[in-house]
Amino acid sequence: MGAADSRSGSVSYGLDEQDNVTVLQGVKLSGDVLQRMRESGSSPEKPASPKPGRDTPDPGASRPSAGETPEELRRRFEREQALVQEELTRIARRERETAGERANTHQDLQKTHTLNTDFYQQTLHMYTQEAVKAQAAVKPGHMTPVCAELQSQVLSCYTLNTGHTLMCSQLARDYIHCINSCKKNLVNHG
């Protein structure tokens, strides 16, 4: 929608507090476009209903000279319109790129979540299989207590001689000697 297919119509620019052109039909213009518009000698029209307190014209704003022909005004208007269209196209492209980046980020997060879930499921399956194998490989062994007879004699002696535990000291020594002998045998044969 450049100069070639522009239709005649009115274009109104919004002015901020310093009479700078910043808004065109609700779209904020960049400083770059504003600078190009100023350099090309554009003269934005004031809004149809000026704000109170704006009776004095801005001496820095460029106005059309009296010597400009309608053809020159039309060409300048078309140039300005092309600049505005170029800026709007750039903004739209940036918005599309941003939306595409957001979509890619969302897809990446979904892929990561799926991969983590798959990895967790595989690990859980492998762990369960290995646990079953380990259980089958390890057979519970029957253990018989060492020195079981001496152990029961010591316990009986202590129960019968509650106040006189020294009477059981020889049995206790024999029990400890039996346990130490079993330990030596395990170390030597293990």
Q: Residue 93: is its pLDDT beyond 80? A: yes
Q: Is the pLDDT of residue 22 over 50?
A: yes
What pLDDT, on the 0 to 100 scale, is given for residue 13? 57
Q: What confidence tens digit (pLDDT) does each residue in 124-168 have?
A: 999 999 999 888 888 777 778 889 999 999 999 999 998 888 999
- The rounded distance, in Å, linking the Cα atoms of 45 and 64 is 11
DSSP-based three-state secondary structure for 21: strand
Residue 156 has a pLDDT of: 94
Under the banding of pLDDT at 50, 70 and 90, the label for residue 106 is: confident
Calculate what percentage of the chain has a pLDDT beyond 70: 70
The C-alpha atoms of residue 19 and residue 113 are separated, in whole angstroms, by 52
Q: What is the mean pLDDT of residues 39-48?
A: 52
**Rounded Cα–Cα distance for residues 65 and 67 (Å):** 5
Q: What integer pLDDT is reported at residue 179 of this predicted model?
A: 93
Relative orientation angle of helices 70-137 and 31-39, to the nearest 10 degrees: 160
Q: What is the pLDDT of residues 54-89, one digit of tens each?
A: 444 444 445 556 678 888 899 999 999 999 999 999
Amino acid at residue number 75: R
The one-letter amino acid at 69: T
Q: How large a percentage of the chain has pLDDT more than 90?
A: 39
Q: Which residue has the tokens 């020159």?
A: 72
